[in-house]
Amino acid sequence: MKKIAAITMARNDDFYLKKWVEYYGAQLGRENLYIYLDGLDQKVGDYCAGTHARAVEKIGSQVVEAEKGRLKFLSSKAAELLSGGYDLVIGVDADEFIVVDPKLGKTLPEYLSSVKVKGSMSALGLDFGQKLGEEADITEDRPFLQQRHYAQIGTRYTKPSILAEPLTWGSGFHRIKGHNFHIAKDLYLFHFGYFDMKRLQDRFQDKDRLAQGWEKHMHKRSRAIRLVTDLPAREFGRWTRLARICQTLVRPPYAWNKPAMFGLRIIVRIPDRFQNLI
C-alpha cells in the first residue's frame, strides 16, 4: 500500500476543517494529515488531535497575493513530504474531498495504490449547490451527502490535487505549472464551499474575508446554488463519463494545462451510493 499524506491550509474554517479531518483521517490515518492555519491568531482545534496541525505566519493581505503565497508554501511542504518518504501527497482546500466511487468497493488509499500516478493526478470536479425549495439548510449532525444531492460538473474543480513528485501548484491547486493533467476514472473531487445559502450569506458578513477582497468572489460562487435550483438534473454515470472525455480533450485558449467543457452547464444528481461517505 502506498504511503499517502493530505495537506491543506485554512483560516476561520472550523466548519469545513472538522469534516476534512474526519474524512481524510478515516481514509489515510490522522498521523498523515498536515494542516496549516493561516495566521498566528488562529487556534488549533481539539478536533485536530493526532494530526500535524499548526498555525503559521499569515500569508498575504489580499486574495490574489494570498493565494499565490499559500500555494507556493503548500507546494514546498508537499515536496518535503515526498522527499521524506511519502509516495503521494493530496493537496486540497478544507471544503474539498476526493472520493472513490463506492461501486468499486475500494478505499481511497486502495484505489490510489492500484493506479500509476505520473507526476500528478486529477479527480473529476463536482461543485455542489443547494436546490432551493427542496433541500433545507445544512446541519452538522448528518453527512453532507445525505443533505445535498445536486452538483455541477465543474472544470474549476477538476484539479491536479494528487502529486507523486515535487511540483508547483498554481493558485487554488487548479493547475501544475508547466505540466499536463490526467483525470482518473471513478475518482471525484466534491466541492462543498458554496452549497448552502445561509452559510454563504453569513460569509458575506465575515469582516476578515471582506477585507481580503473576497466579496466579489463569494457573490460569483453563489451561482452554484442558482444553477442546481434552476436547471434539470441529468444522469450521473453518462454525463460524468462524457465530462471526463471532454475535459481531457478540450482546453481553454489561455491555459493549455486546465480542462474545459465548451461552457456547458451540466447538473447531475449524485447517486444514493455516495450518501454516507462525507
Segment 242-271 mean pLDDT: 90
pTM (predicted TM-score): 0.92
Cα(158)–Cα(247) distance, integer angstroms? 9
Cα(261)–Cα(249) distance, integer angstroms? 9
How many C-alpha atoms does 144 have within 13 Å on its Cβ side? 25
Segment 137-159 mean pLDDT: 95
Task: Indicate if the pLDDT at residue 223 is higher than 90.
Answer: no
| DSSP-derived secondary structure letter, 256 | T
| Grid coordinates of 85 | 518518504
pLDDT band at 218 (very low <50, low <70, confident <90, very high): low
Please check whether residue 91 is in contact with residue 167, taking contact to mean a CB–CB distance below 8 angstroms.
no
Report pLDDT digits (tens) over 153-186: 989 999 999 999 999 998 889 889 888 889 999 9
Domain locations in the chain as residue ranges: 4-274
Task: Indicate if the pLDDT at residue 61 is higher than 60.
Answer: no
C-alpha distances in Å from residue 265, one per residue of 24, 83, 226, 229, 274:
30, 40, 12, 13, 22
Task: Indicate if the pLDDT at residue 46 is higher than 80.
Answer: yes
Segment 138-145 mean pLDDT: 94
DSSP bridge pairs for 163:
89, 120
| Grid coordinates of 20 | 476534512
Cα(34)–Cα(74) distance, integer angstroms? 10
Cα(226)–Cα(247) distance, integer angstroms? 23
- Look at 105-109, 133-137, 247-251 and tell me which has the smallest mean pLDDT: 247-251
- Look at 2-16, 105-119, 189-203 and tell me which has the smallest mean pLDDT: 189-203
Report pLDDT digits (tens) over 62-98: 556 677 888 899 999 999 999 999 999 999 999 999 9
DSSP bridge pairs for 234:
268
Cα(94)–Cα(8) distance, integer angstroms? 6
What is the model's pLDDT at position 76?
95
| Grid coordinates of 58 | 499569515
What percent of the chain clears pLDDT 70, i.e. is strictly above it? 91
What is the model's pLDDT at position 243?
96
